[in-house]
Structure formats: structure tokens, C-alpha cells
């Protein structure tokens, strides 16, 4: 399992924001999901489980970029998605 953590300044610690697990063929065996490799051999596929982006990721971004007045600057790379450079 792999956990991705972010720094939360208010708590002065890193917290998990998402996790990913390699389930090998455990899930695909039951579902019958297979693939054909370069040698033409049929094999069970391997799968991953991941929580993806959760609200904890957004909380970490807000804490990292929060201003004294409570607003938060949106990182440039995310501004197009948020439609603004600041969250109020």
C-alpha cells in the first residue's frame, strides 16, 4: 500500500490525503478480467485500488495557501479549474 500525505500547518503534522493498494489478481480473478501478453498467453490482469483525490487534498491546499483574512490563494496550476485566483 502507498499513502500520499500532505503537510497540515494547523496540526503541525503530515496527514494521509489518499492511498493506493496493489490488489494483484485478487479482484480480477473473481471478475474474470484477463489480458493477452506479447507471447499470446492469456493471464489475469492486476488491479489497483485508489481513493483518488479526496476533500483532504483540498483542505491541505487551503491550509498551505491561506491568508490572514481567511481567504486562500489558489495555486496557479489550479486557477483555471477553480475559475479564480482566490477562495473567499
Task: Give start and end residues of each alpha helix (H) in 14-73.
Answer: 26-31, 55-64
Q: What is the DSSP string of 16-53?
A: EEEEEEE-TTHHHHHHT-EEE-TTS-EEEPP-EEE--S
pLDDT confidence of residue 1: 85
Q: How far apart are CA 59 and CA 81, in angstroms?
A: 16
pLDDT confidence of residue 69: 95
pLDDT confidence of residue 73: 95
| Positions in the chain short of pLDDT 70 | none
Which contiguous run of DSSP H or E holds residue 33? none
Residue 2: which of 59, 60, 58, 48 has the closest Cα? Answer: 48
pLDDT confidence of residue 15: 94
Q: Does the pTM exceed 0.75?
A: no
pLDDT confidence of residue 45: 97
Amino acid at each position: 500500500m502507498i499513502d500520499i500525505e500532505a503537510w497540515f500547518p494547523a496540526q503541525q503534522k503530515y496527514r494521509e490525503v489518499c492511498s493506493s493498494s496493489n490488489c494483484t489478481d485478487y479482484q480480477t480473478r473473481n471478475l474474470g478480467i484477463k489480458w493477452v501478453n506479447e507471447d499470446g498467453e492469456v493471464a489475469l490482469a492486476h488491479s489497483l485500488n485508489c481513493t483518488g483525490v479526496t476533500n483532504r487534498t483540498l483542505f491541505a491546499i487551503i491550509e498551505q495557501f491561506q491568508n490572514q483574512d481567511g481567504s486562500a490563494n489558489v495555486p496557479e496550476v489550479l486557477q483555471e479549474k477553480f475559475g479564480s485566483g482566490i477562495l473567499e
